[in-house]
Amino acid sequence: MPELPEVETTLRGIRPHLEGRRIARLIVRNPRLRQPIPPEMPERVAGQPIRSLRRRSKYLLIGLEHGSLLVHLGMSGSLRVVTAESPLPPRTHDHLDLVLSDGGILRFHDPRRFGIFLWIPMSPEIALVEHPLLCRLGPEPLENDFDGEHLYRSSRSRRVAVKSFIMDSAVVVGVGNIYASESLFLAGLHPARACNRIDQGGYGRLAETIRRVLRASIEQGGTTLRDFVNETGAPGYFAQSLRVYGRAGEPCRICGTRIEPQRIGQRSSFYCPRCQT
């Protein structure tokens, strides 16, 4: 599933091709996504200029003159820019084409159809505080209001495993399964440890490693394990830097101990029994 680094990579890739352009038309090949595309949506967006693009958690908000486009890549989605100079015919699972006035196309590809691509009748600024998918989200991990003190305070009345705790989008957004495993390894914390049994120092380390891991992944274009590609169709390369995730049975890169798998919160987890306590 595309997580924060993959969505941020997508945002940075598509912004130069969309911002300031005008939507010529919307082509809908298959409206049956997680939330079906309403039949009036092409008429709603046609002719509108694109004012802004931003990310909130794993959502993209494309601000138009009237309303916004709310986009989520789901489990297998990707956005690809097709230029007028290099046209590409649509493939299977290319469900939407946002055609721009300069001939370029933003193409939404989603084999599993768990993604979202909707017009909403509010500006991005209002959507962030009022839209039900956005208004209850926790802080962004790369911004100043996220730190170890926030994690420590939020964990005091809870007993869930720390890995499940930091994957809760009401606590902090964008820390998916891969990045939670990697961050906990670097912080030296066992993923199954109860979140209320970690002190302020531990959460200070964890907040810093979350930032480090996410920034490193963004710099490498995200993580491609199966489906994710960026706006040009290229994969992300952070998978080559993974220290524990997906490495069960292999030696720890720090101490040589065998990486162990464990199921936590219905998700696959990986850890080093020696480095993480």
Q: How confident is the model at residue 3 (pLDDT cuts 50, 70, 90)?
A: confident
| In the block, residue with structure tokens 């850890």 | 271
pLDDT reported for residue 236: 42
pLDDT of residue 239: 60
Supply 1's token pair: 């599933």
Does residue 80 register a pLDDT over 50? yes
Per-domain residue ranges of the chain: 4-130, 148-271
CATH number belonging to domain 148-271: 1.10.8.50
Binding residues for DNA, by number, are 93, 112, 158
Distance of CA 105 to the CA centre of its chain: 22
CATH 3.40.50.2300 fits domain 4-130: no
For the cut 50, the answer to whether the pLDDT of residue 259 exceeds it is yes
Residue 225 has pLDDT above 60, yes or no: no
The runs of H, that is alpha helices, within the chain are 4-18, 41-45, 124-130, 148-155, 162-166, 177-187, 200-219
Q: Give the helix, strand, coil percentages of the chain, each rounded to 5.
A: 30, 25, 50
| pLDDT in the model for residue 222 | 60
Catalytic residue, candidates 2, 5, 124, 191: 2
Query: Taking 50 as the threshold, does the pLDDT of residue 253 lie above it?
Result: yes
Which of 34, 51, 243, 267 is flagged as catalytic? 267
* pLDDT (0 to 100) of residue 168: 97
The pTM is what?
Answer: 0.88
Q: Which segment of 93-102, 132-141, 214-223 scores lowest on mean pLDDT?
A: 214-223
Lowest mean pLDDT among 58-72, 87-101, 209-223, 243-257: 209-223
pLDDT tier at 237, thresholds 50, 70, 90: very low
- Provide the annotated binding site: 93, 112, 158
Active-site residue, 163 included: no
| pLDDT classification of 240: cutoffs 50, 70, 90 | low
Active site residue 2: yes
Q: Which amino acid is it at 130?
A: E
Q: What is the pLDDT of residues 166-223, one digit of tens each?
A: 999 999 999 999 999 999 999 999 999 999 999 999 999 999 999 999 999 888 876 5
Residue 235 pLDDT:
43
Cα–Cα dist 130/127, whole Å: 5
Biggest alpha carbon distance in the chain? 59
pLDDT of the residue at 83? 87
d(CA 171, CA 141): 10
Helices (H), 96-199: 124-130, 148-155, 162-166, 177-187
Q: What is the mean pLDDT of the chain?
A: 91
C-alpha to C-alpha distances, 180 to 7, 44, 90, 106, 259, nearest whole angstrom: 16, 39, 35, 31, 15
Percentage of the chain with pLDDT > 90? 83
Q: How confident is the model at residue 228 (pLDDT cuts 50, 70, 90)?
A: very low
Given this model, what pLDDT does residue 2 score?
78
pLDDT given for residue 84 in this prediction? 80
Out of 44, 55, 58, 107, the active site residue is: 58
- Mean pLDDT over residues 159-170, rounded? 97
